[in-house]
Amino acid sequence: MNAATGFHGATQMKERLVVIGNGMAGCRAVEEVLARDPDRFAVTIFGAEPRVNYNRIMLSPVLAGEKTFDEIVINGPDWYAGNGVTLVSGDPVVAIDTLTRTVTARSGHVEPYDKLLIATGSDPFIIPVPGNSLPGVVTFRDLDDVDKMLSAAEQGGDAVVIGGGLLGLEAAHGLSLRGMKVTVVHLMPTLMERQLDEAAGWLLRQELERRGQTILTGANTKAILEADGRVAGVELEDGTRLHADIVVMAVGIRPATALAKAAGLAVERGILVDDHMVTSDPNVLAVGECVQHRGACYGLVAPLWDMCRSLAGYLTDAPQGYEGSATSTKLKVSGIDLFSAGDFSGGDGAQDIVMRDAARGVYKRVVLRDNKVVGAVLYGDTADGNWYFDLLKKGEDVSPIREALIFGQAFASGGALSDPNAAVAALPDDAEICGCNGVSKGQVVGCINAGAHSLDAVRSQCKASASCGSCTGLVEKLLAITLGGEVESGPKPMCKCTSFTHDDVRRNVVDKGLKAIPQVMQELHWTTPDGCSSCRPALNYYLLCAWPGEYVDDQQSRFVNERLHANIQKDGTYSVVPRMWGGLTNPRELRAIADVVEKYNAPMVKVTGGQRLDIFGIRKEDLPAVWADLNAAGMVSGHAYGKSLRTVKTCVGSEWCRFGTQDSTGLGVKIERMTWGSWMPHKFKIAVSGCPRNCAEATIKDFGVVCVDSGYELHIGGNGGIHVRATDLLTKVATEEEAMTMCAAFIQLYREDAHYLERTAPWVERKGVDWVRAQLLDDPDAVGRLARRFHYSQRFSQDDPWAARAAGERRDLHAHLAEVRPLQLENA
């Protein structure tokens, strides 16, 4: 500060403005003040870092090698000297005394002030795990951090970045460009979950993985591992160990409030300020990431500029209050276009407009409330980001351009688009409608005029929208324009989230190799961010069926019964049905069931129609203990709760019955051993009767076997539900082995073809018995192929789900968070 000593004498009469913090906010505030009144204050800035003011948000390009430090300096030494600003760098303020109006620096230097500005910014949050202070664990906040990362990168090796937010991903990108093998460990299931929804987060993840980064989501760091006195790796809660030569902790920031708190200023999450950035002490102001204004703390740069303007206005007697900022985010990773602004969490009265273009990797979502834009998430095409952000800030009513809003400014501003069909009507005849099959608008309209009055008819006659289906909406509009109200309705879409039918979705999952729910939603143009309670379970099943052993079941997409492996009842308790193979039981099992009923006060035990015992009234907290008791007696889950094989009902057959022709009980047990645990489109019931008297009621089951002297009649598609349907005879076979193989093949055909929640009875009626017979019987190898696929998928599904839960897996699904016991009750 020697350079400015001379100035000091000459400016004694000026008010003394002391600024703590030489960062972006502190310097910008001084700039704003000087711009309004250059002669009013004698300014002294204290900086903790031993260097001039630089653009902190550009540290990412410096790390990535796209910029040098000199290029990101905002104010060089000349600026301080030229404006008479005293810079005290490398000597941070350690105390504020608001009574004597002085600050004390670490060196012991005391500086008096008239007005004090706190701009201490924020500190990186260090997660409290063992090893977090080892050499080689760095944060990503200032130039020293960047230098540490650069010197680590020179050695190459593995980097682990903890935190998949904006900062973490920029650090990961930089280290990856510098040649390190990078793994990102993120606690939440979606990258940048504060800025992105699930769909956009998934696209981002795909792109980063394509670039060679490893992304672990839902990953909780347990410890930083050490070797030879420095960092050697990261251990996750699930036991995974990752090798690391450097660990970057970028999980978030905390407003740096320690100084303000010690000085007795009002502090919550940040330093509390009013609309003029004044703290609880009228002579102390605060600005930037360290403040809390109207309940909000900001970690982005745009609000700082707004705050600095209000602060400067106040200090120069021209107050214009700060009212908070709307914020927008762009990820500074070259080649990835990503934009988010405002509130995109949806909610009441909020309406989503979603557009997905799988071919271009584009996802756009605009959220409206009361006909105003309140949020936007854009991935892959961010050209209109600023336009949406502008609409958001202005709070304009967008109803006149609503239909075209999602297509962007150029389109929406074309005017005359209040009719969504108008844009399509305005297309020239040679405009391409269906890119897959090269069909123009003229061809589609020609086809409609020639008599194709439904979507299906258009698809079959000119192939428009018959492949990927993404132009279905356009074809429907052309139908509406051409025919007026006379469009014949076609097959219904899966749910209101999509225009695709169940068949379309199943076909695309296989043809395109789609292996995750967010991927299906993106590729098939879902119009909601994360689906609904109708499509999520269906997609989960279709993926499970298409990719056995590969697809990881999504528990959040399962109905409660399949998550808790028990049946929910009207009072919120559960019923538990242990498996009894073929309906057989023994004293040990019966004793174990009796013991459970008494031990857990189950109010009712009932013999079911499927020849099992159902224990009612078990609380979800008690389920693991109940299962442990049943497991101990050798019983496993009966899957009475699942869209899966339920029971194989049998009669006593030739072993006891004087009419029995075959060992129906034994065959039933064998079939149940083969089929238990398999997931299906809906529940699936089997029965084996030992003679045509059919005591096991095999002819109202999904698959029924009726034994006769000469072999086994195999029946399909029966149902005893609302619409009773007797089975159709599929075929007759001579041996048990043939009966079992046909059973496996039929189940697999049903698994691969039926719609989710479609029982075999309506499925057989929809497809036709002849079709089913043809699939199974025309080609002599078909049954073998289907059965092999069934047996392969069974390798991954025949684990007793109760055993794992009884052993303590997923305790969170059963245990309460805690219990609240009000004091007055305890005292009473």
Partner 1 sequence: MMLTGKWLDIGPTTQIEPGTARTLPVAGGEEIAVFHTMRGEFYALVNKCPHKAGPLSQGIVHGDTVSCPLHNWRISLRTGEAQGDDKGCTPTIPLKVDGGRLFLLRDAVMAGVVA
- Torsions phi, psi of 434, nearest 5? -110, 110
Q: Which of 549/822 has CB closer to partner 1?
A: 822
- Cβ neighbours of 227 (radius 10 Å): 10
Residue span binding partner 1 (CB under 8 A) among the ranges 89-97, 144-152, 207-215, 813-821: 813-821
From the list 21, 303, 537, 660, which residue makes contact with partner 1 (rule: CB under 8 A)? 537
Residue span binding partner 1 (CB under 8 A) among the ranges 188-196, 278-286, 317-325, 590-598: 188-196
Residue span binding partner 1 (CB under 8 A) among the ranges 15-23, 227-235, 562-570, 629-637: 562-570
Place of tokens 């350690």: 94
Nearest distance, CB of residue 136 and partner 1, angstroms: 25
Q: Which of 319/493 has CB closer to partner 1?
A: 493
From the list 245, 530, 702, 736, which residue makes contact with partner 1 (rule: CB under 8 A)? 530
The amino acid at residue 479 is L
The closest alpha carbon to 700, from 681, 722, 683, 724, belongs to: 724
- Distance between terminal CA atoms of the chain? 69
Q: Which of 133/824 has CB closer to partner 1?
A: 824
- Torsions phi, psi of 422, nearest 5? -60, -40
Does 345 interact with partner 1 (rule: CB under 8 A)? Answer: yes
The closest alpha carbon to 267, from 281, 253, 248, 246, belongs to: 281
Q: Report the residue count for the chain.
A: 828
Does 198 interact with partner 1 (rule: CB under 8 A)? Answer: yes
Instruction: Retrieve residue 154's tokens.
Output: 């020179």
- Torsions phi, psi of 333, nearest 5? -125, 115
Does 559 interact with partner 1 (rule: CB under 8 A)? Answer: yes
> What is the spatial distance between Cα 449 and Cα 301, in angstroms, rounded to a whole number?
57
- 536-539-541-545 Cα dihedral, nearest 10 degrees: -160
From the list 39, 78, 228, 812, which residue makes contact with partner 1 (rule: CB under 8 A)? 812
**Three-point CA angle 375, 380, 384, nearest 5°:** 50
From the list 529, 578, 610, 624, which residue makes contact with partner 1 (rule: CB under 8 A)? 529
- Cβ neighbours of 92 (radius 10 Å): 18
From the list 188, 425, 436, 804, which residue makes contact with partner 1 (rule: CB under 8 A)? 188
Nearest distance, CB of residue 253 and partner 1, angstroms: 13
> What is the spatial distance between Cα 211 and Cα 174, in angstroms, rounded to a whole number?
12
760 alpha carbon, distance to own chain's centre: 33
Show contacts with partner 1 in window 240-299 (CB under 8 A).
269
Nearest distance, CB of residue 726 and partner 1, angstroms: 31
Nearest distance, CB of residue 818 and partner 1, angstroms: 6
From the list 82, 347, 395, 513, which residue makes contact with partner 1 (rule: CB under 8 A)? 347
Long-range contacts of 565-572 (CB under 8 A, 24+ apart): 565/623, 565/627, 565/637, 565/639, 565/641, 565/801, 565/802, 565/805, 566/618, 566/620, 566/623, 566/641, 567/640, 567/641, 569/616, 569/617, 571/617
Q: Which of 150/568 has CB closer to partner 1?
A: 568
From the list 358, 457, 532, 633, which residue makes contact with partner 1 (rule: CB under 8 A)? 532
Show contacts with partner 1 in window 616-635 (CB under 8 A).
620
From the list 197, 281, 384, 702, which residue makes contact with partner 1 (rule: CB under 8 A)? 197
Instruction: Retrieve residue 640's tokens.
Output: 């009475």
The closest alpha carbon to 226, from 140, 138, 133, belongs to: 133
The closest alpha carbon to 729, from 694, 703, 697, 709, belongs to: 703
Q: Which of 124/668 has CB closer to partner 1?
A: 124
From the list 348, 430, 770, 781, which residue makes contact with partner 1 (rule: CB under 8 A)? 348
Does 531 interact with partner 1 (rule: CB under 8 A)? Answer: yes
Does 239 interact with partner 1 (rule: CB under 8 A)? Answer: no
The amino acid at residue 230 is R
Three-state helix/strand/coil letters over 528-593: CCCCCCCHHHHHHHHHHHHCCCCCCCCHHHCCHHHHHCCEECCCCCEEECECCHHHCCCHHHHHHH
Nearest distance, CB of residue 813 and partner 1, angstroms: 8
Nearest distance, CB of residue 534 and partner 1, angstroms: 8
Does 570 interact with partner 1 (rule: CB under 8 A)? Answer: yes
Q: Which of 163/531 has CB closer to partner 1?
A: 531
Sheet holding 230-236, edge to edge: 221-227, 230-236, 241-243
Contact 726, 700 (CB under 8 A): yes
Does 528 interact with partner 1 (rule: CB under 8 A)? Answer: yes
From the list 320, 556, 586, 601, which residue makes contact with partner 1 (rule: CB under 8 A)? 556
Residue span binding partner 1 (CB under 8 A) among the ranges 162-170, 302-310, 402-410, 816-824: 816-824
The amino acid at residue 363 is Y
Nearest distance, CB of residue 268 and partner 1, angstroms: 9
Nearest distance, CB of residue 642 and partner 1, angstroms: 14
Does 689 interact with partner 1 (rule: CB under 8 A)? Answer: no
> What is the spatial distance between Cα 580 and Cα 805, in angstroms, rounded to a whole number?
20
> What is the spatial distance between Cα 25 and Cα 270, in angstroms, rounded to a whole number?
15
Show contacts with partner 1 in window 720-779 (CB under 8 A).
none
Nearest distance, CB of residue 468 and partner 1, angstroms: 25
> What is the spatial distance between Cα 19 and Cα 46, in angstroms, rounded to a whole number?
6
Number of residues that bind partner 1 (CB under 8 A): 50
From the list 12, 489, 710, 824, which residue makes contact with partner 1 (rule: CB under 8 A)? 824
From the list 346, 375, 380, 681, which residue makes contact with partner 1 (rule: CB under 8 A)? 346
Q: Which of 212/572 has CB closer to partner 1?
A: 572
> Residues near 318 by Cβ (< 8 Å), separated by ≥ 6?
36
Nearest distance, CB of residue 102 and partner 1, angstroms: 32
Residue span binding partner 1 (CB under 8 A) among the ranges 69-77, 332-340, 346-354, 425-433: 346-354
Residue numbers at the binding site for partner 1 (CB under 8 A)? 187-190, 193-194, 197-198, 218, 220, 269, 345-348, 528-533, 536-537, 555-561, 563-564, 568, 570, 572, 620, 812-813, 815-825, 828
